Amino acid sequence: MRRHLMILEFALSCLCRRKYKNLALLFAFSLLVFILSSILLLTYALKKEAIEILQGAPEITVQRTVAGRHELIPVEYINKIKTIPGVGKVEPRYWGYYYDPFIGANYTLLGANRDMLRKIEILEGKSFFSEQKGVCIVGKGVAKAYFAEVGDRITIIGADGISYTFKIAGIFKTASDILTNDLIILSNDDIKRLFQIPTGFATDIVVEVYNPEEIETVAEKIKKLFPSTRPITREEILRTYESLFDWRSGMILTMFIAAVVAFVILAWDKATGLSAEERREIGILKAIGWESSDIMELKFWEGFVLSSLSFFTGLIGGYMHVFFFGAPLLSTALKGWSVVFPTLKLTPYVSAYQILVLLFLTVVPYMASTIVPSWKAAMTEPDQVMRG
């Protein structure tokens, strides 16, 4: 044990003696870990955020499709869905997207039902009653785009070409940024008027199911009742989000594989290209009684110290990048695109799994790349180098 520690100490002093060469490697290594850890941490945090938000989503969302595309759904379907045992509240939902030509951004417009208005708490200003017309609640991003405050009015051009104005009753606070940033909540009647939704139709229908075990059966029954609909369960949305985020981060990681390879080549090169001084040093060590296996251990410790140092530097850097600064370097690639960007305040989340994956992507290739060079160094003949 003591012997190993002594070799470790010697390795540390070796690293210090060749500061600049090792600093260059340290920098490149940390940068690599920084990028890869940012990707991993960001995607997992986004995934977590999505999952948390979706916990509050309705159990089943029923959409009607015509020729494979989403269509308005007749409200009368509700009565039949209500008769399915185990089904709780069934409500129509009115919503849509709106492109604002003045700002050049897309908003989500959502009709509010009574329950939702009662539940909204994260407000500056106050909520409104569902019967009230001409008022709205907007997300922070929307308010910022209009330079609007509570009490101001915003203008939305309806499908009939007439512009409607709405008084801002409240603004969402940052706590639910991703969800509410580009959101405008109006009363159902306003939305119907704005989008010219014919009476008796809704955008989709949300279904509450009391027992989570019965969700799939209920969805199946709805599908049988109305073959032209597609009931989407909450679980399905969750699954889709998960694989989407996995796919995205995997995609970006794959692009960075080239960087990993380049780094491995750099590490290999650095480890192989021993200076004459280093060779002499190894020669002397062997001459005074170090065995080849000791030299290999020395090289192993050097690599170990270097990689753990860079790994933690990179990981801490990635952590700060993602959770303190909102991942400015990556967010456009991973979040999707929109003009009204939410400012990300992600919940910090690091798991042992992410670290293990990172280790496999960075430290393992590095260690592998140093095996052959350190063996070559260990095989140096003392008499040759000292004479030379």
**Residue 153 corresponds to which tokens in the numbers above?**
């009015």
Please give the single-letter amino acid code of residue 182. Answer: D
Number of H helices, E strands in the chain: 15, 14
DSSP state, 320? Answer: I
Please give the single-letter amino acid code of residue 385. Answer: V
Q: Which of residues 7-36 bind other proteins (CB under 8 A)?
A: none
Give the residue with the Cβ less far from other proteins, 129 or 247. 247
**Residue in 238, 274, 305, 316 binding other proteins, rule: CB under 8 A:** 238
CB atoms within 10 A of CB 329: 14
Q: How far is the CB of 157 from other proteins (least distance, A)?
A: 31
Closest by CA to 352, choosing from 40, 29, 39, 34, is 40
Please give the single-letter amino acid code of residue 266. Answer: L
Q: How far is the CB of 164 from other proteins (least distance, A)?
A: 33
Whole-angstrom distance, CA of residue 144 vs CA of residue 300:
55
Number of residues that bind other proteins (CB under 8 A): 51
Partnered with residue 138 across adjacent β-strands are 171, 184
Under rule CB under 8 A, residue 348 binds other proteins: no
Three-state SS for 323? helix
Are 39 and 208 in contact by the 8 Å Cβ rule? The answer is no
Under rule CB under 8 A, residue 240 binds other proteins: yes
Give the residue with the Cβ less far from other proteins, 211 or 343. 211
**Residue in 43, 108, 176, 188 binding other proteins, rule: CB under 8 A:** 43
Q: Which of residues 194-213 bind other proteins (CB under 8 A)?
A: none
Q: Which residues contact 230 (CB under 8 A, 6 or more apart)?
A: 62, 63, 64, 65, 223
Q: Which of residues 169-188 bind other proteins (CB under 8 A)?
A: none
Closest by CA to 245, choosing from 52, 51, 57, 84, is 51
Give the residue with the Cβ less far from other proteins, 160 or 246. 246
**Residue 30 corresponds to which tokens in the numbers above?**
């940390």
Are 182 and 340 in contact by the 8 Å Cβ rule? The answer is yes
**Residue in 232, 266, 329, 339 binding other proteins, rule: CB under 8 A:** 232
Please give the single-letter amino acid code of residue 343. Answer: T
Q: Which of residues 52-91 bind other proteins (CB under 8 A)?
A: 65, 68
Q: How far is the CB of 361 from other proteins (least distance, A)?
A: 5
Whole-angstrom distance, CA of residue 258 vs CA of residue 265:
11
**Residue in 110, 169, 209, 219 binding other proteins, rule: CB under 8 A:** 219
Give the residue with the Cβ less far from other proteins, 129 or 375. 375
Three-state SS for 376? helix
Whole-angstrom distance, CA of residue 99 vs CA of residue 381:
74
**Residue 63 corresponds to which tokens in the numbers above?**
């959409």
Partnered with residue 135 across adjacent β-strands are 167
Give the residue with the Cβ less far from other proteins, 237 or 329. 237
Are 203 and 197 in contact by the 8 Å Cβ rule? The answer is yes
Applying CB under 8 A, the span of 72-80, 124-132, 271-279, 354-362 interacting with other proteins comes to 354-362
**Residue in 361, 366, 377, 385 binding other proteins, rule: CB under 8 A:** 361
Show the binding pattern over residues 247-266: x = contacts other proteins (CB under 8 A), - = does not: x-xxx-xx--x---------
Q: How far is the CB of 272 from other proteins (least distance, A)?
A: 14
Under rule CB under 8 A, residue 368 binds other proteins: yes
**Residue in 213, 352, 387, 388 binding other proteins, rule: CB under 8 A:** 352
Q: Which of residues 281-340 bind other proteins (CB under 8 A)?
A: 292-293, 296, 300
Q: How far is the CB of 376 from other proteins (least distance, A)?
A: 9
Q: How far is the CB of 51 from other proteins (least distance, A)?
A: 9
What residue ranges bind other proteins (CB under 8 A)?
39-40, 43, 65, 68, 216, 219-220, 223, 230-233, 235-240, 242-244, 246-247, 249-251, 253-254, 257, 292-293, 296, 300, 351-353, 356-357, 359-361, 364-365, 367-368, 371-372, 375, 378-379
